[in-house]
Structure 1
Amino acid sequence: MSNGLLAPLRRRLSLTFAGQSEGIPEWELALEKGDDAGYFAPDSVTWRVHGGMTPIVGGIRALLTQALNPGVLAGVLDHSYYREDPLARLARTIRWVFTVTYGDTVAAGRACEHVHRRHESVVGEYTDGHGDLRAYSANDPELLAWVHLAFADAFLGSYEYLRGPLPPGGADQYVREWATAGELMGVAEPPRSLAELREQLAAYDDGARLAHSPRLEEAVGFLRRLPLDPLLVPGYRTLFAAAVDSMSNRHVELLGLDRQSLRRGLLPARQGAQVTLAVVGLALGSHGPSEAAARRRLARLGLD
């Protein structure tokens, strides 16, 4: 595919993911600065799982999984301008994930502190799955824990769905490594193995803390049909279908979605997403600017 054909796609993807159509965001370039290697090394499973294009599907899956918790969902619906600026939250999520993954320890800590400050005003009430009214705060440990579980499950699950299983022990290592991000965000006991991740995810499905509701239907419908640039819509629909297809049957059931109804085109969801991400990779490059900046920092420090 020629550069002439890829250029319009590259501009639209950059605007979607970085908020600007030209150049590299300053926050990504800033990851070159710092005085240590950060929490994750280039040979870590975290770099492997968060590198490449699979985090795009992981991000969609994470948002869907987080929305299953009515407390987390209320925080998003009541305190964000997601309809007016639907990509802002995605851009903030990308910035946080990549800063913690590739930045030095100071940058990672600041990124988490920034999220906590934004959360301070996110408070209110919601109705749980049993119909009881409950107060919520985005910095509540229980909600922070669910968000962490959703991230770990989504990014790991999407990687293995699209790229194949990690080597033996790799999934456990990823969960153990990414527990550091949970601790930085104030999660008291993040899982440190795949078995613990699955156990903690299942524990939330108690009838109250995960629930289908009209508000969830609203959020899922919006995520399914994001108001994107027309050039990106077919690819996004393919990736959304793959994100849902990669999820557990129980979570798909709670979302009120049907895998078959989401499948489009001649290819199954997995293969369709793989082709779509290959094209995205051609447009954006196989290694993102966050990883490149981190490698420059490591080279400067003699740690590469």
Structure 2
Amino acid sequence: MTEIVNSETHPAVRNKKTKRWLIPLIGLILLNILVVHFYKPIAPAISVKTESVLFDVLDGEVVEKPWFTLPLLGDVFLTNSLLSVGIIFIVILLLALEVHRQTKDGQIKAHGIVLLLELVISALTNMADGSVDGKWRKKIYPFYLSIFLYIAIANLTKLIPFFESFGFAVPVAHGGLQAHPWTSWFYAVTANHAAAGQQGYEVISFFRGAATDLNFTLALAITAVIAIQVLGFQAKGLDYFSKFINIKAVIRNPKMGFIDLFIGILETIAEIAKIASFGFRLFGNMFAGMVLLLFLGYMIPWVASSFIMLYEVFIGLLQAFIFGMLTVVFMGMAVRAEE
């Protein structure tokens, strides 16, 4: 009798697959130690402002070039954080294609990353069920889950090794770092400062974590707050805006109505403050994580930074969860019928 072996559950096959994953992992660790031994990470240049990847060098000064110009709005620059957004879209597209591949025949046979997504989505929706009325879940949950996935991928992709490590070696007029030319176009910039009479370089990285750009976090915050108002209007119509400007209360009872009018002003300020709360919380946490990783990578390249990477994975997922959960709670409050 022929014995059929299930490759997914058989211990020997599973152990063999695990060893296949360990080989490149160990290889990358050894490569990291080897490279750091010869090329110590350069001292980080911390900047809140993102860098344009389109530029000219004039007299040792970097002059940013606009990507294109929009009427009334002005120049638009192709920054390294914007390139990171492109990577986020590619990751989301690959996830969507994998989900489609596993469900295209009408039957869900989730495994691998799709099974992980299913478990995450199930956990997130279960936690939000108490905050959202049942009839509004189909409208709120897609936005809630999409914004969580988008921020989570943005926070995790910034931990890829080539983020903030590879970039343009730009010659500078004064100071700068030494660089060893490996080829005519590929340079290895060292941590040593250029000696007198020697050409110095600075590095403009190709990629930077999207959530470390205030434009990214504020854009998400504005989108979330607008979506909250749209759902509130869909649920209550024009009466929704009476919590901001309650003219009816002033007409019915002028004395108490002015109190309601003052409360409406406070409600308006609170809604606007949500943009700052959403945007600056996410930006502050992720920017602080980037600074911590850069400095520890410079001081203790291949020991402490590994543990901080694991910590940043946790913080990145936590910040995505907080942003999404606050959004779903505020949306639930906006559509909830007043008693």
TM bucket, shorter chain: under 0.3
TM-score, with length taken from structure 1: 0.24
The structure whose residues are more often strand, as a share, is: 2
Which has the higher Rg, Structure 1 or Structure 2?
2
